[in-house]
Chains A and B, each alone.
Chain A
Amino acid sequence: MNEELHAIAATAAQICSEWTPEAAARYSGGWADEVWDSLTKAEFTVLPVPESSGGAGAGLAEAAVVVHEIGRAAVPVPLTETALLAGWLLTAASRTVPTGPLTASAPTDMAVDRCAGGYRLTGKLSRVPYGHLAERVAVLLDRAEPLVAILDSPREAWERGRNLAGEPRDTLLLQDTFVPGEDVTEVDATISGRAFRVRGALGRALLLSGAMEAALDSTITYAGQREQFGRPISRFQAVSHHLAAMAEEAAASTTVAMSAATAGQQPDWILTAAAKAQAGRAAGVVARLAHQVHGALGFTDEHPLRLITTRLWSWRDEFGNERFWERQLGAAACAAPDLWTLVTDPAEVRANG
């Protein structure tokens, strides 16, 4: 990481520290609105959005660094949704991107009917992160000629849901819902459901790798303090090997996720697939070992470890679990002229797949 990225990471970490341990422990749904305000002031919520669309005009790498910090601090904010997904869709639709909070969805089976003055949509937006809290929802209608529809979030209409960490995952039923023509824009064919999934997966891989680092920090500290048989448990080789295994998985996950994000303005989909598969697999290992080392204490609601592990157990399944991405990679490997070409292809060749 260069100095500029380090500085962004440090600022992001500083902002995340506004989310106090007490607030985190009390959290039972909703979001960290004050942290969001600070992120907004720092322009972090629209980092990769071009200035012409109201963003900060930075690259994907800058955004990735911030997302990683959010994951490490386990702050409930729709940052990946706003910065990586909605911001991207709105830019593609030549819209100015509001500061948010925004969220996004790419339903696979939405019926779209043209009507006087606009469109009528029928279908479901399932388990949308922070749905009822977002001001706008960017909906990608993935068709031969893809459309982006921008809905004012009908706050009361969402069916509230949550993930294992209590973060909102809300569902919205659209029943012949009218969307005025000016809020629906035809976009370039590269704005596909698949590209949406790649960006979502990249966001989750970054969050996961940040959270794994946090799990590791907590576990190292605990293993150095907890004594059994007259010595810190970190002195038992079985325990120190657990710490090493966690460190390896976390470092590998961060490295590949960051690599996928620093390939250019679009994520490198091959590396993103690898990153999400790696992070998904590692999340289970890291959560298991973190709990194993923390003993019964870490299994309680009073211990902050749960704030990390319930997120690891949730995020890994979003935007395709490791099996999904392994399949994608397997198919790409079989379709490539040969495996080594696929591994060494420059990122530009494979952006978006």
Chain B
Amino acid sequence: MSSRVLPIDVVRVPPGLEPLRAEVRTFLDSEIRRGAFTPQCDSWLTGWDEPFSRRLAEHGWIGMTIPRRYGGQGRTVLDRQVVLEELLAVGAPVAAHWIADRQTAPSLLRYGSEQQRAEFLPEIAAGRCYFAIGMSEPDSGSDLASVRTRAVRVAGGWRLTGTKVWTSGAHRAQWFFVLARSAPDTGDRHAGLSQFIVNLRAEGVTVRPIRLLTGEHEFNEVQLDGVFVPDRYVLGEIGSGWGQVTSELGYERSGPERLLTTFPLLAALVSEVRRRADRDPAAVAEIGALTSRLLTLRQLSLSVAGMLAAGKPADVAAALVKDLGTRFEQEVAERARMLADEMPDPDAAPGTFTSHLVRGLLHSPGYTLRGGTNEVLRGVVAKALERA
């Protein structure tokens, strides 16, 4: 069954997955209770905790869909979805491995050489190998095909020169995929682009912090000065970078993190309203409104996972979920401040309602920009309507 307007399947979580969900929940409960982490909003991009990543990997919860011969679990997309949902719901610090698990591994499985898969996939699944994303540049944001980083052919490989920006986690990750122009633009702007696997500690790589408006160091400027990349680290085909990066963006955009970034705040809001003696009926009704949207978005997110599991194209569904989902994330922060009538005190203790509020609010500009802006996503949906 699917929507007639846009291609979206109706998918339910198979009942067999509840034991997995319970297992993850028990693990996370005990981690929180022993103080291993403090739940927070936006933890999937900014909660970097390598020991936590390794503990997850020990349970087999990283690289779940990677085949067993590459060190993964060979499980389904929906199995993985269940684990992601639980991690996001408690705001667990998953940033270290998130990008590698979400988009690097599937890209390697689709386009990587046997040697690349053997080298990276087992390490990713072990929660030890972390990747960043080298797409954006100062003059290339939404218009990704305009990247200027150049790849020049040299003996045994390529030399890369250019500047990447907003590279999340580049100061902590070991590797990133770099989208670069390997042949001059001759009219077809999507031709002549290639992807390279680049070591962030290689000679000629300089990583400089760019601080968020909160002063936090999360993303970076990465300068490449004639960085040598051996042939064995070319991803896929030279000249096929555009198709590959589009597919990578599909993985980047499709997950439940695009609606659950501020879930810890929403959960705290519900506790806050419940705790209050008056249980203001207007506040209860608004929580109901937010909950109805959460339920809707979660079903949509399951649809995306289900369609990917079935090998169907999910770009349009993913764009729609990300547009609606990220606006919901912002809306949660907006509603929470008003319902709780709480000053956003930046010095509130970690883990409190107010600290969730402050973080949810201050990080909110990023939700609707990163991974493709909402205007660009609507462009994707609008195109699908033309085809429909």
Residues in chain A within 8 A of chain B (CB atoms): 127, 161-164, 169, 227-230, 236, 238-239, 284, 288, 291-292, 295-296, 298-303, 305-306, 309-310, 313-314, 317-318, 321-324
Are B212's CB and A301's CB within 8 A? yes
B137 to chain A: closest CB distance in Å?
11
A322 CA to B339 CA, complexed, in Å: 10
B207 to chain A: closest CB distance in Å?
16
In B350-388, the 8 Å CB interface with A consists of: 358, 361-362, 364-366, 368-370, 373-375, 378
Report A-chain residues with C-beta under 8 Å of the C-beta of B365: 288, 291-292, 298-299, 309
Are B211's CB and A302's CB within 8 A? yes
Stretch at the interface among B50-58, B77-85, B99-107, B341-349: B341-349
Are A284's CB and B214's CB within 8 A? no
A239 CA to B375 CA, complexed, in Å: 8
Are A229's CB and B142's CB within 8 A? yes
Would A296 and B343 be within 8 Å (CB), given that A288-B364, A317-B337 are in contact?
A: no
Would A300 and B343 be within 8 Å (CB), given that A291-B365, A292-B368 are in contact?
A: no
Q: With an 8 A cutoff between CB atoms, is B5 at the interface?
A: no
Are B210's CB and A324's CB within 8 A? no
Are B341's CB and A324's CB within 8 A? yes
Of A164, A227, A299, A322, the contact of B369 (CB 8 Å cutoff):
A299
Q: With an 8 A cutoff between CB atoms, is B120 at the interface?
A: no
| Chain B residue with Cβ nearest A165 | B346
Q: With an 8 A cutoff between CB atoms, is B330 at the interface?
A: yes
A175 CA to B288 CA, complexed, in Å: 43
Please encode chain B, from 189 to 233, with 1 for each CB lying within 8 Å of some chain A CB and 0 for all others.
000000000000000000000111111000100000000000000
Are B374's CB and A301's CB within 8 A? no
Of A164, A288, A322, the contact of B338 (CB 8 Å cutoff):
A322
| Chain B residue with Cβ nearest A299 | B365
| Chain B residue with Cβ nearest A322 | B338
Report B-chain residues with C-beta under 8 Å of the C-beta of A284: 334
- Compute the total of residue contacts between A and B using a CB distance below 8 Å: 101
Would A295 and B338 be within 8 Å (CB), given that A302-B211, A313-B361 are in contact?
A: no
Report B-chain residues with C-beta under 8 Å of the C-beta of A288: 330, 364-365, 368
Of B142, B338, B343, B358, the contact of A228 (CB 8 Å cutoff):
B142
Q: With an 8 A cutoff between CB atoms, is B261 at the interface?
A: no
Q: With an 8 A cutoff between CB atoms, is B141 at the interface?
A: yes
A284 CA to B377 CA, complexed, in Å: 22
A86 CA to B9 CA, complexed, in Å: 62
Are B362's CB and A164's CB within 8 A? yes
Interface size on B, residues (CB 8 A): 41
A349 CA to B349 CA, complexed, in Å: 46
Would A300 and B210 be within 8 Å (CB), given that A291-B365, A292-B374 are in contact?
A: yes
Extra contacts besides A299-B369, A300-B213, A301-B212 (11): CB < 8 Å: A127-B345, A161-B347, A229-B142, A229-B143, A292-B369, A296-B136, A299-B365, A300-B210, A305-B213, A313-B344, A317-B337
Q: With an 8 A cutoff between CB atoms, is B245 at the interface?
A: no
A164 CA to B361 CA, complexed, in Å: 10
Report B-chain residues with C-beta under 8 Å of the C-beta of A162: 346-347
Q: With an 8 A cutoff between CB atoms, is B165 at the interface?
A: yes
Of B141, B165, B339, B362, the contact of A323 (CB 8 Å cutoff):
B339
18 contacts between A and B (CB under 8 A): A127-B343, A163-B344, A164-B361, A227-B139, A228-B140, A228-B146, A229-B142, A229-B146, A236-B375, A284-B334, A292-B365, A295-B369, A296-B166, A298-B365, A303-B213, A314-B343, A317-B343, A324-B341
Would A301 and B338 be within 8 Å (CB), given that A229-B143, A288-B364, A296-B141 are in contact?
A: no
Please encode chain B, from 149 to 173, with 1 for each CB lying within 8 Å of some chain A CB and 0 for all others.
0000000000000000110000000
B164 to chain A: closest CB distance in Å?
12
Please encode chain B, from 123 to 140, with 1 for each CB lying within 8 Å of some chain A CB and 0 for all others.
000000000000010011
A164 CA to B333 CA, complexed, in Å: 14
A302 CA to B165 CA, complexed, in Å: 14
A18 to chain B: closest CB distance in Å?
24
* Residue of B211, B342, B369 most packed against chain A (CB within 10 A): B369
A310 to chain B: closest CB distance in Å?
7
| Chain A residue with Cβ nearest B215 | A301
Report B-chain residues with C-beta under 8 Å of the C-beta of A313: 344, 361-362
Are A161's CB and B330's CB within 8 A? no
A164 CA to B330 CA, complexed, in Å: 17
Are B210's CB and A164's CB within 8 A? no
Report A-chain residues with C-beta under 8 Å of the C-beta of B375: 236, 238-239, 292
Report B-chain residues with C-beta under 8 Å of the C-beta of A318: 343
Of B139, B140, B212, B339, the contact of A299 (CB 8 Å cutoff):
B212
A173 CA to B307 CA, complexed, in Å: 59
B246 to chain A: closest CB distance in Å?
16
Are B215's CB and A296's CB within 8 A? no
Report B-chain residues with C-beta under 8 Å of the C-beta of A323: 338-339, 341
Report A-chain residues with C-beta under 8 Å of the C-beta of B165: 296
A259 CA to B303 CA, complexed, in Å: 51
Are A164's CB and B141's CB within 8 A? no
Please encode chain B, from 279 to 306, with 1 for each CB lying within 8 Å of some chain A CB and 0 for all others.
0000000000000000000000000000
Report A-chain residues with C-beta under 8 Å of the C-beta of B378: 238
A239 CA to B368 CA, complexed, in Å: 14
Are B143's CB and A300's CB within 8 A? no
Report A-chain residues with C-beta under 8 Å of the C-beta of B141: 228, 295-296
Report A-chain residues with C-beta under 8 Å of the C-beta of B341: 317, 321, 323-324
A323 CA to B369 CA, complexed, in Å: 28
